[in-house]
Chains A and B, each alone.
Chain A
């Protein structure tokens, strides 16, 4: 059950020129949130920007009731959000989404992320590692200057593979190439992915070819974030071409079994 909180920004960190990490007090949300859940953040009390902005949960500090999220400045909304200072209040609804990352009984998993898609994977990796699961993490950045949170992800994974598209840091190329290479040597119980659409498509394809369960976190333009406006539609797999069927990222997702969606 989502909660609305009007809460204090207790810590603001600038990770890159256009990337911010916010920590807020939100025990009500932290207590019930699961990895993969997201938040709807109201930018200000004015009517412009009008809609809330969907942002994923990065970290849940269960002891302190602190909620962390990381966002990139894209347009007007995130620009204004980045101007908030420590001590300012923020209106947040969460946790949202019923489709969250499920760890099932897996022993050896792969977590694949790219760009801003890596943030919701942190809490997943953290909880998986706590549960004693072997966490193979593959994260992709465009270039060396955009590499962030390396230490944090290193800590929460059993093995971390970082790639850059241009080879300017660590491994060169797409993260999924390294995942696939490892898969040829070791069995994996599941793949979890969040990132740009081409990456998600490749993950879905690979998982289905190798018959491995795969959970994808998707993005779509949203109106309400609660499941009432039916804006953030994604096509369901195997629905007839002349009569496509849709489910919604905010309500059924944002995490889906890759076999259930067509992306």
Chain B
């Protein structure tokens, strides 16, 4: 049985990765299992300079998931390079850095540094607020995505994955923006903008008022978007949003994803990613599928 896959030029032993912001830099979950079991680890969103993050309350549970507004707290790329990267490199897995910034210049500066590091790829998080454009997220228009992706592409030789936000009218447009600017792949979806109100205090539960929704609650939206994007672009797709087991992962792959990522599914069970790999293999066995590639995009529409 073959579960190996070349995704955006990155040779992965299996299609299962762990999603940015839900796995830190790997240390905590390495206490539960060998990270070498994973296709790749995608790091916490990392910026040029350290970021302190938002005021608490930052997380809150909602039906079948959670909302968060962490505010991209991270120690900055220098710290990552000297402290976390050597740790991650001890494992036989691929390391993809989730990159975030607040201006095009900052993304470019950051990616110049990332280009010099011993990492396997970069995932551009375009859900960050663009300070110069009134803090609207970068990744909401075709031109916005194309502009920032092209700027980064010029300084980055490593595989480039553009992570798309679902908070748009037509996600195939932003996917095309990434493809036309030379991205090697897209990943989707990031969190859906959401709000929860405490009816007793009449205040939103998050200090930031709104936050990103993740978890099983968003999975059907994510699967639909992966399907749409797979029909619109030729570059490969990493699918994520609410995956908690192998069956969920298979659904994304049938919809057109070549690889998948486990986000807050890690929180409810530290072994979710490993169990997802096992679940995919069990499905392949049951359906006599020799090669993982034979699942990708095999949905049969009505």
How far is A199 from B29 in the complex, measured between Cα atoms in Å?
Answer: 35
Contact A42 B31 (CB under 8 A): no
The distance from the CB of A163 to the nearest CB of chain B, in whole angstroms, is 27
Q: Which of B237-270 touch A at CB < 8 Å? A: 244, 264, 266-270
Contact of A221 among B22, B55, B56 (CB under 8 A): B56
Contact of A244 among B55, B58, B270 (CB under 8 A): B55
How far is A91 from B22 in the complex, measured between Cα atoms in Å?
Answer: 20
Contact A230 B215 (CB under 8 A): no
The distance from the CB of B86 to the nearest CB of chain A, in whole angstroms, is 19
The distance from the CB of B162 to the nearest CB of chain A, in whole angstroms, is 23
| Per-position 1/0 for A220-237, Cβ under 8 A of B | 111111111111111000
- Number of chain B residues close to chain A: CB under 8 A: 37
Contact A233 B73 (CB under 8 A): yes
The stretch that binds B, out of A44-52, A111-119, A206-214, is: A44-52
User: For A245, what are the chain B residues with a Cβ–Cβ distance below 8 Å?
Assistant: 52
Give the number of A-B contacts (CB < 8 Å).
104
Contact of B244 among A47, A224, A226, A228 (CB under 8 A): A47
- Number of chain A residues close to chain B: CB under 8 A: 32
Contact B52 A232 (CB under 8 A): no
Q: Which of A25-45 touch B at CB < 8 Å? A: 42
The stretch that binds A, out of B64-72, B129-137, B180-188, B228-236, is: B64-72
User: For B215, what are the chain A residues with a Cβ–Cβ distance below 8 Å?
Assistant: 47, 50
A125 close to B (CB within 8 Å): no
How far is A48 from B64 in the complex, measured between Cα atoms in Å?
Answer: 5
Contact A52 B268 (CB under 8 A): yes
Q: Which of B20-49 touch A at CB < 8 Å? A: 21-24, 28-29, 31-32, 44
Contact A233 B53 (CB under 8 A): yes
Contact B32 A50 (CB under 8 A): no
Contact B24 A246 (CB under 8 A): no
Closest to B26 in A: A228
Contact B24 A228 (CB under 8 A): yes
How far is A246 from B22 in the complex, measured between Cα atoms in Å?
Answer: 18
User: For B58, what are the chain A residues with a Cβ–Cβ distance below 8 Å?
Assistant: 221, 230-233
User: For B271, what are the chain A residues with a Cβ–Cβ distance below 8 Å?
Assistant: 4
| Per-position 1/0 for A84-95, Cβ under 8 A of B | 000000010100
Q: Which of A144-200 touch B at CB < 8 Å? A: none
B118 close to A (CB within 8 Å): no
Contact B31 A50 (CB under 8 A): no
Contact of A42 among B22, B59, B216, B268 (CB under 8 A): B268
How far is A222 from B70 in the complex, measured between Cα atoms in Å?
Answer: 11
Contact A246 B266 (CB under 8 A): no
The distance from the CB of A3 to the nearest CB of chain B, in whole angstroms, is 9
A-B contacts, 30 of them at CB < 8 A, read A1-B31, A2-B31, A4-B32, A4-B270, A42-B269, A47-B64, A48-B64, A50-B216, A50-B268, A51-B61, A52-B267, A52-B268, A91-B269, A221-B59, A224-B266, A226-B270, A228-B23, A228-B24, A228-B29, A228-B267, A229-B21, A229-B68, A229-B70, A229-B267, A230-B21, A230-B53, A230-B70, A231-B56, A234-B56, A245-B52
